[in-house]
Structure 1
């Protein structure tokens, strides 16, 4: 695995706004926002002159928001190339700026809710280490378009909001071409169940693989004689009739709808042809997919029991292949954590800027900040034996050790497994025997304090031993 430089501003090593001063300002702003992710932009900049420079930068049309993301994407692709398999999770979240929205920001799902939809593609390892953000699309809706989704069903996909999912898959195919030694797997929840993606995968010269949770009622090409008429066999019914392939236990994270729990899953699978949607069956071909049915056994029966129908381009030659599809889909969950870090950890919905362009530039910075928080959190779990100075500068880890441990830092950098809990202690982590590993919230709180300690360490230097 390629390990990151010690400080976050190295993520912008390739950034190019056409002038060195703008490039330098972007690195300074990124470091300031990372040092205090929950603060306002004004508060994150320690001096008024720095805050004024930050606002001028965000107002500068030459500071292209796409270049902010592109620099991070280039660094992300370097990390991707060091992996055998990378999962790219697409998802959409709402950013609600109601009450302080920029003048040119339109609606979310209602006329009195103003904000942006954020559709992001984020790369993870199958072990859930966040490698970076590959693509972001922000969009809003005009008032006269609300409630008219059903009227647009017959429109070309290029004119629908759902086109973003197909675009995201196409970019995964581009990524697969850029990283030929890495298997790229595109992941999507129910909104990504779009037949055009299945066709694209079969017709593309260098397709990315995909695992998508089914939303639509999809059919086999064979008629359903029992149902009669013009009915076709349903894929969910057909896979449910097959023998059990295997079982699997999955740890479910807590959500607003459920508490965290360990779920026991029964898994069935078939490889079959899928019939195109009725309205388009003369225009597009049938496709062949792996279909995996995942059903929770002895669940709480409160509406949160798992019942997934997964559609995939991946083979299912044996039970290990089937489990791999399930595991890859589970690797999609961290994208929801990513959005939680962005909204709760970085408080991006509190940003107050006058124009959409300024807001989007700021959001691109916070995308990189949210990635870094997740990267540090999970790197300590996936690579616990690494010395912490591959991620943290000497001033950062030594000052944290001195304050938290109340002792001199060791001569060589401790392993991440030792240092991350020490950092998290500064954010309220207790580290008791029954506690799990530090979470993202305690780590980002600890990081905020670490940056202050590091500045003091650099200003006043490490304590010197007395000479006798």
Structure 2
């Protein structure tokens, strides 16, 4: 795979704050936070002068928080251009800052809970390799707005929180125009079932495709003669009564609500017109592919899979239908991304005085979380790559020396060999029967690697010029 940065600070090669010192400072901060993602900003910086420089940077009103992410976005787009297909997963998570929230941060879903909602668009390959963060939207709520969702049902989409999903899809369309050789597929779970997205896809000159899990009860344009009155046929009932397209098995990872298992799925699909919801009756009808995925022989404990997927993609044969299911499954790693971001980087522990400073810091941690997830899955998806594609000479050689207790080879080992070594520094046992290392052992190992690499550069043998 091309466009892979050897060091995390290379993500900021195009950053521009209008002053070299601020550009250099941003790279130093990113490097320090990546080396110690679970520490406070103060503890992550080696010296007090570096910590003081980081805090001054975060409070500098001339530092545009979007530019912090924009440099990473530009690098992400370069990686996207080497792919035939990418999936952009939108999702929202809560950041609860408890009793240490900045003074100007407002509410989450309750008046006493203060924090930010983080709505991110994260790019993955269909094989679940994380390529980067495309965009982030932070928002909070006023106390007066809590509990008023029903009253806002007929408001224009631009005035609703759900507008962020439409904005996210529009950014995918922009990405499609920037990367014309790459198919862009926008993914969303039930909260992203926004009718305006379907309308946008049909009228856009350069649309991105989409796969969205249905939440709303949607109707077809045809009247339901059996029900009588002003009742319309229901989309879900139509696909439930359609012929079985195929079956397949997928591996479900363990979650807090279920144990890991192999799920057997029955899959049905139709292509149909859908009428707009009553509150949006001025909008036109749209044509959607509707795919129903139902688990058979499941545990019956409330975790059985039952997905109704809406898509712009064709369903001409069973392979097309399975492709829609596979793309939706490719959304799952966004939850891993948030886990790294919140648990691995401990962003909810950040203590800064204002919302603007906090958001600048969170933008750095977005890039840190990407890098951790990227390295974790790159070793699985591209195991034959030499490790110096991702790691500097000082990094891989110092890890080899510590773990293997022998002189490093002249050529960098493959990622399949190096990633378990790195994870061993973080507590991975590296036994023959063990599965691949997880994110937590890799980010702990990375922290130790950065210290070893610093010592290697300072006290070890000469290191060749690193790119």
- Normalised to the residue count of structure 2, the TM-score between the two structures is 0.98
Of 114-123 and 295-304, the range deviating more from structure 2:
295-304
Aligned to 1:51: 51
User: C-alpha offsets along residues 140-161 of structure 1, whole Å, 9 cap, x if unaligned?
Assistant: 0011110111110011010000
Q: Could you tell me how far apart the structure 2 residues matched to 1:221 and 1:212 are?
A: 21
Q: Could you tell me how far apart the structure 1 residues matched to 2:290 and 2:333 are?
A: 23
Q: Aligned pair 1:95/2:95, yes or no?
A: yes
Aligned to 1:345: 344
Classify the secondary structure of the residue corresponding to 1:108.
Answer: coil
Q: Could you tell me how far apart the structure 2 residues matched to 1:12 and 1:358 are?
A: 19
RMSD: 1.0
Q: Is the 8 A contact 2:3 2:78 kept in 1?
A: no
Q: Could you tell me how far apart the structure 1 residues matched to 2:341 and 2:226 are?
A: 51
Q: Is the 8 A contact 1:3 1:390 kept in 2?
A: no
Q: Is the 8 A contact 1:33 1:41 kept in 2?
A: yes
Q: Is the 8 A contact 2:154 2:280 kept in 1?
A: no
Q: Could you tell me how far apart the structure 2 residues matched to 1:366 and 1:285 are?
A: 41
Aligned to 1:115: 115
Aligned to 1:285: 284
User: C-alpha offsets along residues 241-274 of structure 1, whole Å, 9 cap, x if unaligned?
Assistant: 1111111111112222112222111100000100
Q: Aligned pair 1:403/2:402, yes or no?
A: yes
Q: Is the 8 A contact 2:424 2:430 kept in 1?
A: yes
Q: Aligned pair 1:105/2:90, yes or no?
A: no
How far has the Cα of 1:428 moved from its partner?
0.7
Q: Is the 8 A contact 2:266 2:296 kept in 1?
A: yes
Q: Is the 8 A contact 1:6 1:392 kept in 2?
A: yes
Q: Could you tell me how far apart the structure 1 residues matched to 2:341 and 2:139 are?
A: 17
Of 426-435 and 333-342, the range deviating more from structure 2:
426-435
How far has the Cα of 1:463 moved from its partner?
9.5
Q: Is the 8 A contact 1:185 1:208 kept in 2?
A: yes
Aligned to 2:235: 235
Q: Could you tell me how far apart the structure 2 residues matched to 1:460 and 1:221 are?
A: 74
- Stretches of structure 1 that go unaligned for 5 or more consecutive residues are none
Q: Is the 8 A contact 1:384 1:416 kept in 2?
A: yes
- Stretches of structure 2 that go unaligned for 5 or more consecutive residues are none
Classify the secondary structure of the residue corresponding to 2:364.
Answer: helix
Classify the secondary structure of the residue corresponding to 2:161.
Answer: coil
- Normalised to the residue count of structure 1, the TM-score between the two structures is 0.98
Classify the secondary structure of the residue corresponding to 1:398.
Answer: helix
Q: Aligned pair 1:457/2:453, yes or no?
A: no
Q: Could you tell me how far apart the structure 2 residues matched to 1:251 and 1:446 are?
A: 28
Classify the secondary structure of the residue corresponding to 1:332.
Answer: coil
How far has the Cα of 1:5 moved from its partner?
2.4
Aligned to 2:78: 78
Q: How does 1:296-307 map to 2 (within 5 A)?
A: 296-307=295-306
Classify the secondary structure of the residue corresponding to 1:315.
Answer: coil
Aligned to 1:64: 64
Aligned to 2:186: 186
Aligned to 1:247: 247
Q: Could you tell me how far apart the structure 2 residues matched to 1:105 and 1:254 are?
A: 34
Aligned to 1:275: 275
Q: Is the 8 A contact 2:422 2:449 kept in 1?
A: yes
Classify the secondary structure of the residue corresponding to 2:451.
Answer: helix
Q: Is the 8 A contact 1:3 1:391 kept in 2?
A: no
Q: Aligned pair 1:392/2:428, yes or no?
A: no
Aligned to 1:137: 137
Classify the secondary structure of the residue corresponding to 1:217.
Answer: coil
Aligned to 1:126: 126
Q: Is the 8 A contact 2:153 2:279 kept in 1?
A: no
Query: For residues 410 and 252 of structure 1, do their structure 2 counterparts lie closer, same or farther at Cα, with a shift above 3 Å needed?
Result: same
Aligned to 1:23: 23
How far has the Cα of 1:104 moved from its partner?
0.3
Q: Could you tell me how far apart the structure 2 residues matched to 1:336 and 1:52 are?
A: 33
How far has the Cα of 1:226 moved from its partner?
1.8
How far has the Cα of 1:407 moved from its partner?
1.1
Classify the secondary structure of the residue corresponding to 2:310.
Answer: strand
Q: How does 1:311-460 map to 2 (within 5 A)?
A: 311-460=310-459
User: C-alpha offsets along residues 101-153 of structure 1, whole Å, 9 cap, x if unaligned?
Assistant: 00000000000000000000000000000000010000000111101111100
How far has the Cα of 1:411 moved from its partner?
1.1
Q: Is the 8 A contact 1:315 1:321 kept in 2?
A: yes
Q: Is the 8 A contact 1:96 1:114 kept in 2?
A: yes
How far has the Cα of 1:185 moved from its partner?
0.3
Displaced runs of 4 or more, over 4 A: none
